[in-house]
Chain A
């Protein structure tokens, strides 16, 4: 058995034994709760930062994070066209306590999204970035626990998200004057 499968089996072995823990982890693993939480943090950063300089910094981070999300999703979509990895519950006996997705196991789309958001924000706001990275790690572990992803799927998704955010940040730095113009325009229509 590969290291990936061994770690998966160990984490997933806890599922199904503790009903309360199972319910909590199912909530954390679901597609909606974590991603919505992350998006709410982005909205809070966008509108909730006092002071012009800090506000522009955080808003730039939000733009980098949001654009990274879109690009990361596209990259995952392209990888899925060429690479299909069978879900763990289709490959071995697992404690499946979640709905069985039918798309490719590798890379994790949810991990790519959350880590793209987290890294995009982290580059401009360390505290919020660490909070989002923590959410991403918990979400990734939860999806292994419920039996729908191997650890490598989560790591692959996280790597795609992080690399995409770094590239988008490079573009944001390169296009800083245009980004500032965009923020200025949004300020004029009261969207910042």
Chain B
């Protein structure tokens, strides 16, 4: 029984990891292309495209060769849906956070007050308000 749970956990983790990699990459390429800077973690578009190409291709290669490493059909439709949604949500939160931190550190804007306030003003919400 323990072996079965460990086996399932390995499959779920792999599915989640590959989905996270792919969704994070696509979010970066897409937001770089459309100019949604509040989610984009790079300075230049081209860096986002290269990052996306690497992550998406490696992730899709992982899914394509799933049969070679793992039995197929174990992760059922509903589980796939939940794992993918979770991976997408994590990728989205990660994009928000990393883009906020990167923007805060790279722009090096001196804002009086404690660091928390400075970060809060330079987060995705602050960036969006500035237009």
Cα distance, A31 to B71, chains bound together (Å):
11
- Closest-by-CB residue of B relative to A48 is B30
**Contact stretch, chosen from A33-41, A127-135, A149-157, A172-180:** A33-41
- The reply to whether A48 and B128 contact each other, CB–CB distance below 8 Å, is no
A30 with B22, Cβ < 8 A, contacts A36-B84, A47-B36, A55-B34 known: no
* Complex CA distance for A73 and B77, rounded to whole angstroms: 9
A14 to B16, CA, bound (A): 34
Structural contact, A49 and B66, CB atoms closer than 8 A: no
Interface size on B, residues (CB 8 A): 37
Q: Is B96 an interface residue (CB 8 A)?
A: yes
Q: How far is the CB of B129 from chain A (nearest CB, A)?
A: 11
Total A-B pairs in contact (CB under 8 Å)? Answer: 81
Q: Tell me the A101-151 residues at the B interface (CB within 8 Å).
A: 101, 109
Chain A hits for B15, CB < 8 A: 32
B23 touches A43 (CB 8 A): yes
Distance (whole angstroms) from the CB of A135 to the closest CB of chain B? 12
Which chain A residue shows the least CB distance to B38? A190
Alpha-carbon distance A43/B15, docked complex (angstroms): 18
Q: Is A19 interfacial (CB-CB < 8 Å)? A: no
Q: Mark A5-39, 1 if CB is under 8 A from B, else 0.
A: 00000000000000000000011101111011101
Q: Is the CB of A36 within 8 A of B67?
A: no
Cα A67 to Cα B124 with chains together (Å) = 28
Once A31-B80, A43-B26, A99-B72 are accepted as A-B contacts, the answer to whether A37 and B34 lie under 8 Å apart by CB is no
A190–B84 contact, CB under 8 A? no
Chain B residue nearest in CB terms to A76: B77
* Chain A residues within an 8 Å CB radius of B39: 47, 190
- The 28 sampled A-B contact pairs (Cβ below 8 Å) are A26-B67, A27-B64, A27-B67, A31-B80, A32-B63, A32-B66, A32-B75, A33-B60, A33-B63, A36-B18, A36-B63, A43-B23, A43-B26, A43-B88, A44-B26, A44-B29, A44-B30, A47-B30, A47-B31, A47-B36, A48-B29, A48-B30, A48-B33, A50-B35, A98-B67, A190-B39, A190-B124, A191-B92
